[in-house]
Structure 1
Amino acid sequence: MTLSKNENIKAKQKQINLPKILRQEIKENNKIIKWFYNIVMLLGGIGFLIVGISSYIGNNLIYFLDASEIIFFPQGITMCFYGTCGILFSINQISIILNGVGEGYNEFNKELNLMTIYRKGKQGKNSDINITYSLKDIEGIRIEIKNEYFNVKQNVFLRIKDKNDLPIIQLSNPIKISDLEKQASEIASFLNVPIKGY
């Protein structure tokens, strides 16, 4: 069966109009919840530290944080320790949210025949992750779903020729399986590679 001249022209036009670049933005989920938890932890840590210091000096630094019945050793020291840990941990987590650590993109460029996986690091450009492979090296897409007690992990991997599978989508907060499959099938369809199951 041969195509007519008009059909050949239409087929070529269709190929020309196909997208040459697929780019998936990777964003942090549940930022509002993380902001809430870390601010609560920060305030709690400050409260613990103030009570611990108040127990040491024998006066309440803040009137509504009563430390009159707390003995500095061992209770006050313990509160200072936990307060300091809470403050440092929450500040670290807030800085991660502000800097967008772990965010980035997956880009598949047919014009350059290149795949780029980029993730932002914490300490600037030197810690950023930037991985590139030729599109010809991609053999398929693999979906992985793990149920570990109360923790569900959903991952999408690229199967790279002669390399370990490369994770491109990692979800700690589960989404519908159909949505995960949709993201994976979008990549597989664009690259014209198979999807391998769970």
Structure 2
Amino acid sequence: MFGGPKDSAGATETTRSSTDTVMIDPVTGAKRFSNYFWASVVTTGASGFLIAGASAYLHHNLLFFIDATEIKFFPQGLVMSFYGVAGALLATYLWLTISWDVGSGYNEFNKDEGIMRIFRYGFPGKNRRINLVSDLADVQAVRVEISEGVNPRRVVYVRCKGKRDIPLTRIGQPLTLAEVEQRAAELAKFLQVPIEGL
């Protein structure tokens, strides 16, 4: 079931809040240090390529620390300009994703109302607000997925009756093993369901 989120649910909260009957766990979206870092790096690199390409085309150094007088516009300057445009498009995408804070939201488990609410912000459009509501009675277990390697995954899921497992933790920034275990244990204790995968 989809709909608008409750204002009292705290989509903008920055810390986990919990009482005997309500647990709200905020989820960090695109506004993370790593995203700001990579957006800045891509912006700087794209600007450098564009300025080098423009300097080669104009046969004049647009910046004092970039000597592009020895670069011929065709083909080197043209290729640099292409990389600069591609980088500028990627940087624009990254900055817009950060600005829209895609992926942010919260997980709410409310025993008073008997519901579980998973709320996330997506990209602008009719599906900007993703609000998934399920009955707490349908929750069967808390599942933990841990895989190490080049691309480690440490995700906490909720297993619901008749549905796919619902991920609760943010994507793209793995949690530590201690954080995963703590979150899973706290949630399983609150919901009084077993933990799978540990």
TM range (shorter): 0.7 to 0.9
TM-score, normalization by structure 2 = 0.83
TM-score, normalization by structure 1 = 0.83
SS in 1 for 2:180: helix
1:162 offset after TM fit, Å? 1.2
Q: Distance in 1 between the 2:176 and 2:58 partners?
A: 55
SS in 2 for 1:118: strand
Deviations 1:152-180 (Å, cap 9, x if unpaired)? 11111111101111111145433332321
Counterpart AA for 1:24:
D
The worse-fitting range, judged by mean Cα deviation, of 73-82 and 120-129 is 120-129
SS in 1 for 2:68: coil
Taking a change above 3 Å as real, the CA distance of residues 176 and 145 of structure 1, as seen in their structure-2 partners, is same
Whether the 8 Å CA contact 2:108–2:116 is kept in 1: the answer is yes
Q: Distance in 2 between the 1:171 and 1:44 partners?
A: 26
Whether the 8 Å CA contact 2:30–2:102 is kept in 1: the answer is no
1:64 offset after TM fit, Å? 2.4
Q: Distance in 1 between the 2:104 and 2:31 partners?
A: 13
Taking a change above 3 Å as real, the CA distance of residues 125 and 21 of structure 1, as seen in their structure-2 partners, is farther
* Number of aligned residues: 180
Match status 1:36 vs 2:37: yes
Match status 1:113 vs 2:137: no
Higher Rg: 1
Match status 1:98 vs 2:99: yes
Taking a change above 3 Å as real, the CA distance of residues 95 and 30 of structure 1, as seen in their structure-2 partners, is closer
SS in 2 for 1:101: coil
Whether the 8 Å CA contact 2:29–2:170 is kept in 1: the answer is no
Match status 1:23 vs 2:24: yes
Query: What is the percent sequence identity of the aligned residues?
Result: 39
Taking a change above 3 Å as real, the CA distance of residues 130 and 62 of structure 1, as seen in their structure-2 partners, is same
Unaligned runs of 5+ in 1: 1-17
CA-based RMSD = 1.9
Unaligned runs of 5+ in 2: 1-18
Q: Distance in 1 between the 2:197 and 2:152 partners?
A: 17
Find the counterpart in structure 2 of residue 65 from structure 1: 66
Moved over 6 A (4+): none
- The answer to which structure has the higher helix fraction is 1
Q: Per chain length, whose mean CA-contact separation is higher, i.e. which structure has more relative contact order (CA < 8 Å, sep 6+)? A: 2
